[in-house]
Amino acid sequence: MDLQAIHAVPSSFIRRWIFSTDHKVIAKQFLFTGLFFILYGGMLAMLIRWQWAHPGQEVPLVGQLLFSRSGGIIGPAAYNTIFTTHGLIMIFWAITPIMIGAFGNLTIPLMIGARDMAFPVLNMLSYWTFFVSGVMVLASFGVELGSAGAGWTTYPPLSTNVGMPGMGQTLMVMAIFTTGSATIMGGVNYITTVIRLRAPGMTYMRMPLTIWAQWLTAILNVLFVPVLAAGAILLTLDRGFGTDFFVAGALGKGDPILFQHLFWIFGHPEVYILILPAWGIVSDMLSFFARKPAYWYKGTVYAMTAVTILSAVVYGHHMFTTGMNPLLGQSFMLLTLIISVPAEVLFLNWLHTIWKGSIRLTSPMVCSLGMVFVFGMGGLTGIFLGTISTDIYLHDTMFVVGHFHLTMAAASFLASFAAIYFWFPKMFGRQMNEGLAKAHGWLSIILISLVFTGQMVAGWAGHQRRLFDPYQYKFLEHLLPLNRGTSHLAFMLGAVQLLFVYNFISSILRGKKAEANPWQVGTLEWELPSPPPNYNYDPIPVVVRGPHEYANADAIRLLGRDWLSQTETLKEAEVATAGAPALAAGSEP
């Protein structure tokens, strides 16, 4: 079978737009679903922030609807459900489908010169398996006793029937297993597509950094998501079939700490599963809009590869306070500090790329620069948590929450918007409003930095996480003004997202028609119309250079522009422009 054959466009609406095997349609499906869940998870975050700012007060507008049994006030059980489901939804049903499902599906075939994924039917099944898991999540809110409430890590014994009775927790654990199955399907597809379907001349060291990141992410998914799936199955058996894998003491012969090992063997690679796509996207964006080749391209590839490998051996730093053998803890601490080295290489490469660049502050560039800033803040504060002595004090405080949200949530959040603004013309054939997009980007950067920095300050002062009402404790009462202030900033951050919602919807409906290459970028997808045809390429392109050919003096002299496509040779350009006037070297097109 020819994996690169041109297939006819499906004639029926269902086959073309619902059960589609076209990677571009599946990318849109993942994007829309992920945006729905990021809105859902964001609303849960607003409820958390209300509780920290105004505990014991009725939630405005929706309090009586959501919490009628408690008079519109968030009760302890409801609070546990809110922060548990917020974390799970944001990780597995918001960031993952947007960064990996949507932009992995969109970019991999287009940026390597392929007509589709290696396994189009498996690609379709991966989305609909993910969709089923999302339905299970929503269904968990409608059962008796509500949805999951054992924390996003679902540690036993709290997540067993003893600590969290009811069907809601079981549905959520089963949903994690189901979405994990979808992730494995996608990972197999991504890995195979990159290995088998690269265009002629598209060597590994000519791939865009976005593709490197998605490929490494897929490898981590295939290796480590099954570990989480195993833990989810065993926990489901404990909850529904009377086994005692994680139930200890008089009720069973299991070990709750075993679940923590299984969870974090997956959980720390998951940190990089979420951030690697952001690293790759931003590494490309900074080059595209600084109009310079990405600094030490191979160094960035080696750094991301090193992080991918080392991510498997640092998980124990999440378990410093579990009674781990001190010698084993010291080993995990050393490995944690070592893994920060390639991350620093990445960061320095980003700074070198933008240094003295001809920066174009487009909306994707604004969001990319914001990602660099928040990731730098989150990375530096992570050092305190990677060393045992400081982690013992900070481990169960809001400092961890702030650090994690800067490093993962804020960085992935801003990189997601950079990707949406950048590839929106290629996905929908229309351009988003740049003024609204830049306003949304700048305001989001400022507010998200203040919100999560405020969380770290509260944690440094001793504010534990997961507290329903922290001000019941005398030594935390003085933190109410700080938490109230950061909550109000969070409400502003939520309101700012309405700019994006309006811009996104209005641009799909009546946005300006996009050119084939509105950003003047040289990667393969911008050689296609916007949006591309069903089959992407006919014929398959031949690649002659890397993805970051900018500030080329010969291109400026011959073409009057500062970039070259990955399929473009200067010899062809010289023939095509013979006798044409050229711009002065260094000038803007």
DSSP result, 323-335: T--HHHHHHHHHH
Query: Using alpha carbons only, how large is the chain's radius of gyration in Å?
Result: 24
The span from the CA of 585 to the CA of 560, in Å, is 8
The rounded distance, in Å, linking the Cα atoms of 16 and 3 is 19
Q: Which pLDDT score is estimated for 580?
A: 47
On whether the pTM is more than 0.85, the answer is yes
| Chain-centre distance for alpha carbon 449 | 17
What was the pLDDT predicted at 57? 95
> At residue 428, what are phi and psi to the nearest 5 degrees?
-120, -5
The whole-number pLDDT of residue 252 equals: 73
CA distance 12 to 4: 23
- Residue 235, CB half-sphere, CA atoms under 13 Å: how many? 35
Residue 583 DSSP symbol: P
563 phi and psi angles, rounded to 5 deg? -140, 160
Class of domain 13-527: mainly alpha
Give the pLDDT of residue 589: 31
- Residue 428 C-alpha from the chain's centroid: 21
Distance CA 338, CA 173 (A): 33
pLDDT score of 573: 59
Six-digit token string for 443: 């305001």
Q: What is the mean pLDDT of each run of 10 residues along the chain (589 residues)?
A: 73 92 97 98 97 95 90 94 97 97 98 97 98 98 94 94 94 98 98 98 98 98 97 96 87 88 95 96 98 97 97 93 88 94 96 96 98 95 92 94 94 97 97 97 98 96 93 95 97 98 97 95 97 94 96 88 92 59 36
Indicate the residue type of 164: M
Predicted pLDDT of residue 228: 96
Quote the longest CA-to-CA distance of the chain: 89
Sign of the CA dihedral running 456, 458, 460, 463: negative
Give residue 588's pLDDT: 36
**Rounded distance between C-alpha atoms, residue 570 and residue 558, angstroms:** 8
Burial pattern 4-41, b for ≥16 Cβ within 10 A else e, equals beeeeebeeeeeeeebbbbbbbbbbbbbebbbebbebb
Q: Which amino acid is at 417?
A: F
The tens digit of pLDDT for each residue in 337-367 reads 999 999 999 999 999 999 999 999 999 999 9
The partner residues of 513 in beta bridges, in order of sequence, read: 430
Q: Using an 8 Å Cβ cutoff, are 378 and 399 in contact?
A: no
Tokens standing for residue 520:
């003047």
Three-class SS state of 240: helix
d(CA 184, CA 126): 8
Parse the chain into domains and list their residue ranges: 13-527
HSE-CB at 378 with a 13 A cutoff on CA atoms is 27
